[in-house]
Amino acid sequence: MFRRLLVANRGEIALRIIRACLELGIETVAVYSQADCDSPHLRYATRTVCIGPAQSKDSYLNMDAILQATEQYECQALHPGYGFLSENALFAERCQRQKITFVGPPPSAIRLMGDKLTAKQTMKAAGLDTIPGSDSILASVEEAQAVAREVGYPVLLKATAGGGGKGMRACRDEDELRRFFIEATLEAEKAFGNPGLYLEKIIQGGRHIEFQVLADAHGHAVHLGERECSIQRNHQKLIEESPSPVIEPKVRQQIGEQVVAAMKAIGYCNVGTVEFLRDPDGHLFFMEMNTRLQVEHPVTEMVTGVDIVKEQIRIAANHPLELRQDEIILNGHAIECRINAEDPDNGFRPDPGTITAFQPPLETSSGTVRLDTHVEARYAIPPFYDSMICKLIAHGQSRSDALRTMSEALAQFRIEGIHTTTRLHQQIIATPEFVAGHYDIEFLQRELAVAEEVVTT
């Protein structure tokens, strides 16, 4: 096992990794930007080091500064968390060259799955169904229109190097496709340095389903079931749950076995998430793969009892997986709400500022509550980074138990001094559609549109 590990991230995920290392007996070095010099997670690290100014490009994306800190403090390993450099193949390669273990898949896997179109082709060859669309990068708007006519409108333009909704445009007809093609190309070039686009048919009423996988360097791989991530705004997830309300056990087994076989076929190692879009008929189509720890990993941990971060670190240290597929049992149900420092009543404008009061949920009547956060009272949220400040997770023996627990927890949760999405989450989980499990990826968009109509009439 490693003696010392550098945590190349910030906020709640940095604290999550530090805690896993503490339980594994690993010393940690936490990096931070000048804007994060007072971040509470720094108290728990063995050592801390400032790596640059507030802007991400000068700090958390500064490969030279991070690798220099790793060398300076004689770290054997580096955990990238999520976001920032977690899916950067060049960074993983540079870690390799400096004899630092990158806690994640090898650079070749990051590169293979990081190109969304190549990933689609690879998984199709491995036996997974893919969404109808283009098989290569679109050379022109005319080619895009030809593919769209073949698969049928509406269609979605997607950046081949993309993620987080950037370089993505929904098109209802040829006029929109022509107009949005240039927009998406320019946005993809700016965001990823790669203007390449491909096209997929939009599946109306689709649901976002993803399977969590673990694979070691010794040919072993398992899946930890699925997560439902269909409550989204602008392609950003807000609420996740596991298991999905619409995935039957036989489907879970079938898709899980296909995913594990695909991981073995491409020689994947470490943690990964395979994302699918489920159509109203129950058919699952591969969308993309994330070669990192997911934000929403706690819901899977709550229902399986598997500490995914610890498993990541053990696999990176070349330990064989001790988990067997038949030992992984889904126990109960878990729901996660991502609490953002945003004002839902003002276009979801980010609302950084000082938290004047912070009172987490204390106790609920029907289940277990987990809070993953790095914030506290009197903490000043910097304006330079993602607006998520905590993840609230509720677990119950049934979905209704988990919902009741989450409802109680959100009602108890008190954050003052800033606007948050807490009230929005309360509203969402109380809707009849969510309670019944009858929702899709357009659900929140429809709900927000209705709420806006009510306000303006």
Give the distance from CA 65 to its chain's centroid.
Answer: 25
Q: Give the separation between CA 66 and CA 78, rounded to whole angstroms.
A: 9
Q: Give the separation between CA 169 and CA 351, rounded to whole angstroms.
A: 27
292 catalytic? Reply is yes
Distance set, CA 163 to CA 49, 138, 160, 168 (Å): 29, 18, 9, 9
**The one catalytic residue among 94, 292, 338, 404:** 292
- The set of residues, in sequence order, having a beta carbon less than 8 Å from that of 13 and lying 6+ positions away, is 81, 82, 293, 295
Give the distance from CA 317 to its chain's centroid.
Answer: 24
Q: Which two tokens stand for residue 352?
A: 């950084």
Residue 196: exposed, middle, or buried by beta-carbon count in 10 A (0-12, 13-18, 19+)?
Answer: buried
Residue whose entry in the numeric block shows the structure tokens 């993953």: 372
- The set of residues, in sequence order, having a beta carbon less than 8 Å from that of 441 and lying 6+ positions away, is 206, 207, 208, 230, 232, 277
Strand partners, 414: 359
| Active-site amino acid positions | 292
